[in-house]
Structure 1
Amino acid sequence: MSGKWVFMALAAFSGILLSFELQLLSILVLSITIIRIVYCESFNILSLYFVFVLLFFFASEYTKITHVSNYKSPAKLQAVVLTFKEYPQIDGNRLKAVVVSPQKEKLMLLYKIPTENEKDELVRKLRAGTVCTMDGKLVLPEVNRNEHAFNYQQYLKRMNIHWTFEPDSISMVECHPSRTSLTATLQNLRALGVQVIENEFPEKLASYAAALIFGERSLISEEVDQSYKQLGVVHLLAISGLHVGIIVGSVFFLCIWVGMTRETVFWTLLFLLPIYTVLSGGNPPVIRAVIMAILLLSANKWRLKLSTLDIFSLSFMLFLLFDPLLIYHIGFQLSFSVSFALTVSSAYFLQQKNHVILQMLNISLISMLSSLPILSYHFYEFSLISIAANLLFVPFYTLILLPAVFLLFAISLMKLPFFGFVAGILDGVIHVSEKVASVAGSMSYSMFLTGRPSSFGMIFIVGGILIFFVLWEKRIHPLKCALPLLLILTVYSVSQKYSPYGEVVFIDVGQGDSILIKLPYNRGVYMIDTGGQLHFPVAEWQERRKPFKVGKDTLLPFLKSKGISRINKLILTHSDADHIGAADELIGELKIGEILISPNSWEKPMMADIINHAFKEKVKVKEVKAGYRWENKSGSFYFIYPFDDEYEGNDDSLVLYASFGGLSWLFTGDLEKGGEQEMISAYGHLDIDVLKVGHHGSRGSSSEPFIQMTSPEHAVISAGKSNRYGHPHAEVLKILKAENAQVLRTDESGAIHFRFTSKGGTFKTVLP
């Protein structure tokens, strides 16, 4: 079987896909592998292949059967005894942890801490293995309410968690330590180590030390994380196979240097590696590297005929036999895809006697190409400068920063007097590296935007990458090898950008408005409002490290998934936070042709801040009112309100009338009854197919005369789920029903899409 375990790994992959995703990809993988075995291998290998396909298929089916909940519906639980399976994450006033019920069911506990004193007590006393008696309610986790958005419910289900639990309170009087397992003890040690780093290290250095020693990335700032993503070296901020390899190699040579026998070193590493896996956070890349290290050490000790590819394949199967659903984990996908590519390529590209820099270039190129499809699918873009960035940052991290933070952590534990001096120097080095990363990451065209590829798109992209490797193996120049892939990416990007289909999306931004209009053939991309949140001052202890932001967490990922990097016109209807609060987060991240605002709305502080930011980014801002228009082959657009230059709030919202996709549209912002009456007086009658209902369905808008004047066939209401204002109001719904308008609501259906051509289109919603 030496050298053949890769076929069994492919069998495992095929069996899992057939169970979870009976689609084109699973059939394709199965068919190609069978053809390869039939033509090049023996009947025995083919038989074993089918055995492993069935083994992993039934393992996956068993997982689906057993991953069910004991609870059938949301419920109030009284005096339920829950055990903390992991050390709780406390961020600002939020506590989050996986807990286990007496029936051995995992729940995701989410708790809003009411006071600073309680937070301090929870930080001091709550540990992995703590058992608490609580009252609270079971809540069904949220699904994604926007296309391609993060599906929290699905994410938890893949960890066999079906409910979130929201306790009424957590009293340490009702909590007591249990007989903790070894895993819980190690998790508590890990949390203690992170706390030591937070307390002893300079703030900037602490975030890197916690990430590189314990795999704790929550301390990394959003700005740094974004810079490293744009460089394509964000993997360096997490413990990866490279880090594990360095640590194993260092421990091995250190043990040999102090006089230990190879036998003793083997058993020492066999004992320490699983412990380190838990201490470093137990992420898939670490587990993969540890399994491979143990298999490699075992093969060496017992002289097993296993190649590196065999060891990779065995680790892949062991990982998935334990939990087939890990195949959906992004870290798992990236770790195994890159490792597989490097393992297979080593015989052809990495064993040549080239200069070390050329070898590093080869490794960076292979890593970038093998991760490209996964990055495109999950993050909709990939870095174009990652090859050069890896040349600079990988040596810095592996040769300088990683050993330095481990040494500094040891110095801090020993309380040596020169800790502060060394920490200060290293902190300064970190500041310089961040500046370099920020400057390099902000370069124009550092990222290639792919959008979310379709199944066929993924097949063509993967095909282009395989062609590259086949041609490279034949010693053809890398630039020539890349031509097919570049052609595929260019054709895919152009076909997506200049699609004959247009789309209107009423994005679910909670209690707010944000509407995307994308015309066919890239004739225009317009956004009406951006949504946003009201920000209330909170105490320092309540502040979260990475609070939710509508722009960065909802709008930007959604736009990138659609392949949109430029908005021709950003229309800010008026100055309320729930309509323009996220605009500041888009400016600078996207190319914006111009911003259109209501006359004198810049007098309000929030709008003034947005305009100042726009000026800094050299984005044109224009005040418009009734009479301003533009048109092209795909549609015509007219502002029909307001009439004057005086800004008074909601009743001076920009109102846009548009004609495209075979329908007439009216977007009304937060227009209220006073403004509606002015429009009735001015226009008398407006026959509308689709009305964006004013002010989220408030009864201060959508008067009966206005609805009768517009007589819409479809009425779209953008409102937050279970919002505190009670939008939309029953009176408004009654008026719309009387006019026979089909009502579509983001609070009930999530984002609302209308896909169209010049002849017409169809509505669909994200939620059924």
Structure 2
Amino acid sequence: MVKHTTIWMTCFCIASLSAVIWPVLPHPLLLTVCWLLLVGCHVLLRQSKWYRYFVPVRQRNSLLPEYLLWAMIAFNGFLTGCIWGASLGYWYISWQQPTEKFQQDVILPVAVEQVRPAHSTTQCILTVALITHSQHYPHTAALDTKLIAGWHNFWLTPKARLYWYAAQPCPTPGQRLLVRARLRPLTFLRNPGGPDSGRQYIAQRIVATGYVKSLLQQLPASAASLHQRISQAIRQLAMPNQRWTLALLTGDRSQLTDTDWQSLQHTGTAHLFSISGMHLALIAGWAILIASYCILPLVSLFTRGRAQPPLRGALIFITWLICVAYTALANWQLPVCRALLLLTVAGLCYLRAAFIRHTDMALIMLCVCCVVFPFAVYGSGLYLSIGAVMVIWLVHWRIRPNLTSLMARWRWFMLLQAWLTVCLLPLTLGFFDTFSATAPLINLLVIPIIGLLLPLGMGALLVLVLSNGAWSQPLRVFDQTLGGLTTGLQNVASALPLATVSLSWLSLVALFVAILLLLAPAFSTKRWCIGILLMPVLSQFLPFNPRYWYLHVLDVGQGTALVFSQGARAILVDTGPAYPGAASAFERHIQPALRTLNLTSLDAVYISHGDNDHAGGVPQALAYASAGQALSSVAGCQQGYHVQWQQLTLTALWPQAANNIDDNNHSCVLLVGDGINHVLAPGDIEKQGEYGMLYHSAIRPVDVLIAPHHGSASSSGALFVERFKPDYVVFTTARFNRWGFPAPSVTKRYAQVGSQQLNTAVGGYTRFRFSEDDAVSVLSYQQQHPRWYYRPLQ
């Protein structure tokens, strides 16, 4: 490509992708200024290039130098990318309702896109597109149409995730419904080792969650797509492993259970059952293979002795049509569409005998994806797919394999799989914080099997469609074979550990550069450079300095979970809530955080009281910890309890000894300190309990106070606040919680005594560091990872 075009597209892509890590969105006034600068750059650039042709060569030195023109082009592309990224951010924000509009019944016309099973209290969980209201939906007049404004575009329609509480059976994908629902704003839990849920919501264009209260009307649906018709035909067969068959052949993964996903994650084979560019490449490869060895010989046979027609274009066109049909079968999922786009560009270049370098091809694909699939830049699929393509090209350029024999091809496949695993490791850790050490070996065995099963499954599916469902036996045989493979994967997953590693972005970048240097040609200081780059990565595995002790306030939503640590040892105070039919907060958030923070030993578990938001994960915590029993307000954690743990002293200030009441006012109140710095964890104690504790216990000011009862108006009385007078007070609340915690009267009382107020709903995970010599230091997740989509709605 032309150098100017390459520079412009590169800068555009860099700016568009950088929107993922922006702490704030640029102000609209700044965007206007950017537009004016952009227009000015265009004018100067065009005038300079135009007049250059009419100026004598000797006088061209008075014009803008070439490097300045290149800088203007780069600035032009970067500004355009910034404007595009900021526009998408404001577009996403404009889809969301103001906070006062939530927790109200609304009538929504929705198009059901995905249905997956849920726990026993509800029938299913829907992912729905909020379609445009019109004269065909008169009931939507009562709805604030801001949420569903716009047009019903396949890739640019806001979505919602709704629990189905209606009396009717769960709907099927493709149906259009008019429902009465109650929406909730999006909530994000931010902890070390946890997923970036806000970024995932944007990638899926989800702007609200909630539940369906009743079904009002089933709206006329559009014509069923190929994906919907084939999926429905497979479901009607009721095969024992149909969830795996649907996932592999149609990309419908809604029936996969949490156990299924866990086995795929442990074996590193989740990408095999998520239709992507690899599957499209397999289909294209088999199509070319069958055409080359079956169709082309027949054409040669019938045209013997005559001039053969040009078959190259016909072969490419037929292969492209097959790939389009497969993309439609996969419901036009973004990874497959990106691969189809790449194949289309490659096919056109091949037909026109045009040469495009691999780097230029990747740049074109990335630039088009940023424009056509704009919200994909917030997901992991875009980076993993483009990264895999670039790794294949890079390894092929660097090693230049000899593929003359079958054994050489097999060795090349094994080597390529190993390099893919190593090179994509930084991306995998950056997005998922986990990796499977045995994934390369398992993929070496499973990918060839999938490569054989996929065309056989598509053939069986074609037989089923052509026979109008009469010949289902080939597909049933395929289902049984695939079931044997997945059963083997589940058996292997049960015996394999899954490593959880959380690295900073600086460490991930250093690791990525070190891996690239491994592929680079040899130079004198290559080993030294790789060693230096790996130092930030290795430092991440060191435990905390034992000179300090830490309080980790985890973000578990409307609940409390505290971890006190020193060195590699920790104790847990409260476990957060449990969720019906799903993993508890301990399994979802606390356990990954402990591993990420390199806290290898959980010595004790304390429970303030038995409410779910404090004690929901007790069984899982005890199974993880070395403690045999949790200490609570009715079992050991009472006045008189005093224990030394490393350099810290743990003292129970409340309830009184021999207490057998398990409620808010009799919560276990723990005072943790080293003689200089102190932390008070009062559970859900309210004013009655506060006065009792103040009367029966010796009280002193503390450095950090966990707000009683999450900051409710029934707690944190004036005398309690005045006596403890904390330097920091932390409210453990959920974002947009329906109780309005913390109460304004409570925050006012803490402000009057000069306490610095923190809230996990705003800052996420918060860490305090204490020592005998230094002042208390505070660091929150929001300070470590500021993102524009975590900022409160205005």
TM-score, normalised via structure 1 length: 0.75
Instruction: Give the aligned partner of residue 362 of structure 1.
Output: 415
Q: Quick one: which of 64, 76, 87 aligns to 1:65?
A: 87
Match of 1:13 in 2: 13
8 Å contact from structure 1 (residues 530, 579) kept in 2 = yes
1:191 aligns with 2:228: yes
Q: Quick one: which amino acid aligns to residue 194 of structure 1?
A: S
The answer to whether the 8 A contact 2:283-2:323 is kept is: no
CA–CA separation in structure 1 for the residues paired with 2:312 and 2:583: 51
Query: Counterpart of 2:625 in 1: which secondary structure?
Result: strand
Q: Secondary structure at the match of 2:126?
A: strand
What's the CA shift for 1:15?
Answer: 4.3
Contact persistence 1:532–1:581 (CA under 8 A): yes
CA displacement at 1:154 relative to structure 2: 5.1
Task: Write out per-residue CA displacement over residues 113-147 of structure 1, whole angstroms, 9 at most, x where no aligned residue.
Answer: 34342x35x438x53xx5x6777787654455557
What code does the residue aligned with 1:377 have? G
Q: Deviations over 1:380-401 (max 9, x none)?
A: 232222222222222232234x
CA–CA separation in structure 2 for the residues paired with 1:272 and 1:107: 30
CA contact (8 A) 2:287 2:322 kept: no
SS in 1 for 2:288: helix
CA 171–692 in structure 1, closer or farther in 2 if over 3 Å, else same: same
The alignment status of 1:761 with 2:787, answered yes or no, reads no
User: Kindly tell me: are residues 575 and 754 of structure 1, through their superposed partners in 2, closer, same or farther at Cα, counting changes over 3 Å?
Assistant: same
- What pairs with 1:520-669 in structure 2 (closer than 5 Å)? 522=567, 524-533=569-578, 535=580, 547=582, 549-559=584-594, 562=597, 564=599, 566-585=601-620, 592-594=625-627, 597-598=630-631, 626-632=640-646, 635-641=648-654, 644=657, 647-650=660-663, 653-659=667-673, 663-669=677-683
1:517 aligns to what? Answer: 564
Residues 342 and 630 of structure 1: CA distance in aligned 2, closer, same or farther (over 3 Å): farther
Measured against aligned partners, the alpha-carbon deviations of 1:429-463 in whole angstroms (never above 9, x if no partner) come to 13531334324423xxx52x431413x32332122
> Is the Cα contact below 8 Å between 2:434 and 2:501 reproduced in 1?
yes
Counterpart check, 1:176 vs 2:226: no
Confirm or deny: 8 A CA contact 1:350 1:362 kept in the other structure.
no
| Matched-pair contact (CA < 8 Å) for 1:9–1:316 | no
Give the letter for the 1:227 counterpart: S
Partner of 2:59: none
CA contact (8 A) 1:719 1:745 kept: yes
Larger deviation, residues 363-372 vs 743-752: 743-752
Kept in 1: contact 2:722–2:753 (CA 8 A):
yes
Where does residue 280 of structure 1 map in the other structure?
330
2:513 corresponds in structure 1 to 463
Amino acid aligned to 1:515: L
In structure 2, the CA distance between the partners of 1:423 and 1:8, relative to structure 1 (3 Å rule), is same
Deviation at 1:466, TM superposition (A): 1.8
User: CA offset at residue 345 of structure 1?
Assistant: 0.8
1:579-616 per-residue CA deviation (whole Å, 9 max, x = no partner) reads 2212445566xx634365226968xxxxxxxxxxxxxx
| CA displacement, residues 174-221 of structure 1 (integer Å, 9 cap, x when unaligned) | x334xx5xxxx57x3313333333342434x22221221122223222
Structure 1: segments with no counterpart, 5+ residues: 24-42, 536-545, 603-621
Deviation string, structure 1 residues 673-722 (Cα, Å, up to 9, x no partner):
67656644553333333232444346776566655554444443334455
Aligned to 2:277: 241
Q: State the Cα distance separating 1:318 from its structure 2 match.
A: 2.5
Matched residue SS, 2:346: helix
| Mapping for residues 142-181 of structure 1, pairs under 5 Å | 142-143=187-188, 155-157=200-202, 170-172=215-217, 175-177=219-221
C-alpha distance 282-753 of structure 1, shift in aligned 2 (>3 A): farther
Q: Deviations over 1:527-561 (max 9, x none)?
A: 211111364xxxxxxxxxx8574234433454455
Question: How many Å separate the matches in 2 of 1:152 and 1:424?
Answer: 34
Shift of 1:333: 0.6
Q: Does 1:209 align with 2:265?
A: no
Structure 2 distance, partners of 1:336, 1:272, is 22
Q: Which moved more, 1:14-23 or 1:229-238?
A: 14-23
In structure 1, C-alpha distance between the alignment counterparts of 2:100 and 2:744, rounded to whole Å: 28
1:383 to 1:113, Cα distance in 2 relative to 1, 3 A? closer
Structure 2 residue 172 is matched with structure 1 residue 123:
yes
Given the superposition, is the C-alpha separation of residues 302 and 738 from structure 1 closer, same or farther in structure 2, using an over 3 Å criterion? closer
Q: In 2, are the aligned partners of 1:153 and 1:162 still within 8 Å (CA)?
A: no
Contact 1:380–1:560, Cα closer than 8 Å, also in 2: no
Partner Cα distance (2:632, 2:150) in 1 = 61
User: What is the one-letter code of the residue matched to 2:630?
Assistant: I
Distance in 2 separating the partners of 1:176 and 1:498? 64
- Which residue in the other structure is 2:46 paired with? none
**Counterpart Cα distance in 1 of 2:548 and 2:76:** 42
Q: Distance in 2 between matches of 1:428 and 1:323?
A: 34
Q: 1:730 to 1:368 in 2, by over 3 A?
A: same
2-structure distance, mates of 1:236, 1:584? 34
Residue matched to 2:255? 219
Take 2:751 and 2:740, find their aligned partners in 1: how far apart are those partners? 18
CA contact (8 A) 1:597 1:624 kept: no
How many angstroms apart in 1 are the aligned matches of 2:644 and 2:356? 68
| Residue type of the alignment partner of 1:430 | L
2:506 counterpart of 1:506? no
**Whole-angstrom distance in 2 between the partners of 1:731 and 1:64:** 38
1:78-101 superposed Cα distances (whole Å, 9 cap, x missing partner):
999977577354653443312243
Using the TM superposition, give the Cα deviation of residue 469 of structure 1 relative to its aligned residue in structure 2, in angstroms: 1.7
Counterpart-to-counterpart distance in 2, 1:652 and 1:218: 44
- Check 1:565–1:283 CA distance in 2 against 1; reply closer, same or farther (3 A cut): farther
Q: Distance in 1 between matches of 2:5 and 2:393?
A: 13
Cα drift, residue 166 of structure 1: 7.7
Contact 1:80 1:101 in 2 (8 A): no
| Pair 1:702–1:302, CA change in 2 (3 A) | closer
Name the counterpart of 2:290: 254
- Counterpart of 1:605 in structure 2 is none
User: In structure 2, how many angstroms separate the alpha carbons of the residues matched to 1:295 and 1:683?
Assistant: 76
Q: Distance in 2 between matches of 1:514 and 1:423?
A: 47
Report Cα offsets for 1:209-234 as digits up to 9, x if no partner: 12211222232222232232233332
Note the C-alpha offset of 1:340: 0.3
Map 1:261-272; keep pairs closer than 5 Å. Answer: 261-272=311-322
Aligned residues: 691
Select the residue among 76, 91, 97 that pairs with 1:54: 76
Match of 1:263, SS state, is: helix
* Structure 2 counterpart of 1:648, one-letter code: I
Give the match's secondary structure for 1:220.
coil
Q: Please state whether the residue corresponding to 1:362 is helix, strand or coil.
A: helix
Contact 1:696 1:717 in 2 (8 A): yes
The answer to whether the 8 Å contact 1:752/1:764 transfers is yes
The answer to whether 1:451 aligns with 2:502 is yes
Amino acid at match of 2:644: W
The 3 A distance-change label for structure 1 pair 419 and 662 is: farther
Distance 1:587 1:627 in 2: 20
Secondary structure in structure 2 of the residue aligned to 1:526: strand
The SS at the match of 1:494 is coil
Kindly report the root-mean-square deviation, in angstroms, between the aligned alpha carbons of the 2 structures.
4.6
Q: 1:600 to 1:48 in 2, by over 3 A?
A: closer
C-alpha distance 358-56 of structure 1, shift in aligned 2 (>3 A): same
Residues 513 and 166 (structure 1), Cα distance of their counterparts in 2 relative to 1, 3 Å cut: closer
| 8 A contact 1:575–1:601 mirrored in 2 | no
Which position in structure 2 is the counterpart of 1:374?
427
Greater Cα offset, 713-722 or 14-23:
14-23
Does the CA-based 8 Å contact 1:2-1:307 persist in structure 2? no
> Alignment identity in percent?
18
The higher radius of gyration belongs to 2
2-structure distance, mates of 1:4, 1:420: 53
Asked whether the 8 Å contact 1:512–1:579 carries over to 2, the reply is: yes
Whether the 8 Å CA contact 1:201–1:423 is kept in 2: the answer is no
Aligned counterpart, 2:343: 293
TM-score in terms of structure 2 length: 0.73
> d(CA) in 2 for partners of 1:357 and 1:624?
67
Residue 543 (structure 1) aligns with: none
